[in-house]
Structure 1
Amino acid sequence: MKILLVSDIESKYLWDYFDIEKFKDIELIISCGDLKAEYLSFLVTFIKAPLFYVPGNHDQNYDINPPEGCECIDGKFIIYKGIRIIGLGGSMKYKDASHQYTEKAMKKRISKLKTKLFLKKGFDILVTHAAAEGLGDGEDLCHRGFKCFRDLIDKHSPKYHFHGHQHLNYGINERIRKYNNTTIINACGYYVIDYKK
């Protein structure tokens, strides 16, 4: 299954110079946050695939104007075509705004998913806006990753962790990194993966 990942930067290649032929094999779109609602609605309209998203720390407008035709998976456990997916949006809390969490608050959000994780025997994909601590995050409070994400990956060993928040021009040049059995992908801009069950 080909999955289009998007995050943080509206790509001119996808928006201004969109060519449906180049994306006709996409079966799922996943947004890791900080993108205009109109951009996500555009993608889901022209690429005939569902779009799941989590909000980023700059997506307060989603609260009143969510992306049309897209499904918010923030704080949810969903199954799509047999793939178990968890969504946890937002960043580390650095000011008083929505979609920002302390470590304790994010851990509490994860604890609400424990029953489903137990019943479904884990998950395959973790979709977040922020990175996990020490796995592609930054040093400042705004870009610091969540330890509880790393703990979640350690415990359940998913195939993938998709995140945004860390623009590739921040000096973090690794789009893809391997952590034990999990492939971590920074979705900044856009990236296509071929998911094999």
Structure 2
Amino acid sequence: MKILAIADEESKYLWDYYERNKLEGVDLILSAGDLKPEYLSFLTTMYAIPVLYVPGNHDDKYEQHPPEGCICVDDDIYVHDGIRILGLGGSMRYRTGGNQYTDQQMHRRVRRLWWKLKKNKGFDILLTHSPAYQLNDGRDLPHQGFQDFVYLMEKYNPRFFIHGHVHVTYGRQHKRYDKYQNTHIINAYERCIFDYDDENLKDHIR
């Protein structure tokens, strides 16, 4: 399965300079947050590909204007063609506003998923907005990752962890690709395409 992961900045390549064949062969789009709802609706409509999303810390507008034709997987496990996708949106709380959580609040969100995790026997992709603690995150509070994401990878051994929030343009320490134990970690900033079954992902992600 070929997947397009997106986050944080709308791709002019896909939106302003639309050509349907640009995403030929892509089976699924995963949005890791902080993208305009109109953009997500455009992608699923014009490219005719399912879009699953979680909100970022700047996506309060999703409550009044959710992306049309797209599927929110926040605090849920969604199964697409046999692949189990767990969604946990938002960032570390650093100001007033929605979609921001303390470590304790995120821990409670994860604990509330216990039945869905048991029912689905785990998950294959962790889709979040924020990175995991000390794995491609920032040391400043707004960009610090969550400790429970590390716990989820260690306990359930998903194949992929996809996040946004830390733009690859912030500096060389924020990588497009990393790995933690057996989990491939992908920073979805703007856009990248990968094959779910690729055993040499580091060499082929684009």
Common fold by TM > 0.5: yes
Report the TM-score range of the alignment, normalised by the length of the smaller protein.
over 0.9
Q: How far, CA to CA, are the matches of 2:56 and 2:80 in structure 1?
A: 22
1:183 is aligned with what amino acid? H
Q: Is the 8 A contact 2:76 2:116 kept in 1?
A: no
TM-score (norm 2): 0.93
Cα shift readout 1:6-51 (whole Å, capped 9, x = no counterpart): 1001111011112211212111111000001111111011111110
Q: Is the 8 A contact 1:92 1:144 kept in 2?
A: yes
Q: What's the secondary structure of 1:109's corresponding residue?
A: helix
2:181 is aligned with what amino acid? N
Query: How well do the aligned residues superpose, as a CA RMSD in angstroms?
Result: 1.1
Cα shift readout 1:137-159 (whole Å, capped 9, x = no counterpart): 00110000000111111111100
Deviation at 1:68, TM superposition (A): 0.7
Residue ranges of structure 1 left out of the alignment (5+ in a row): none
Q: Which residue of 1 aligns with 2:100?
A: 100
Q: How far, CA to CA, are the matches of 1:2 and 1:46 in structure 2?
A: 18
Q: Which residue of 2 aligns with 1:176?
A: 177
Q: How far, CA to CA, are the matches of 2:197 and 2:45 in structure 1?
A: 25
Instruction: Output aligned runs, 1:6-17, within 5 Å.
Output: 6-17=6-17
Q: Is the 8 A contact 1:27 1:48 kept in 2?
A: no
Deviation at 1:196, TM superposition (A): 2.0
Q: How far, CA to CA, are the matches of 1:125 and 1:191 in structure 2?
A: 15
Q: Is the 8 A contact 1:164 1:188 kept in 2?
A: yes
Q: What's the secondary structure of 1:43's corresponding residue?
A: helix
Residue ranges of structure 2 left out of the alignment (5+ in a row): 199-206
Cα shift readout 1:95-130 (whole Å, capped 9, x = no counterpart): 121100000111111111112212322110000000
Instruction: Output aligned runs, 1:76-87, within 5 Å.
Output: 76-87=76-87
Deviation at 1:173, TM superposition (A): 4.1
User: Is 1:117 paired with 2:117?
Assistant: yes
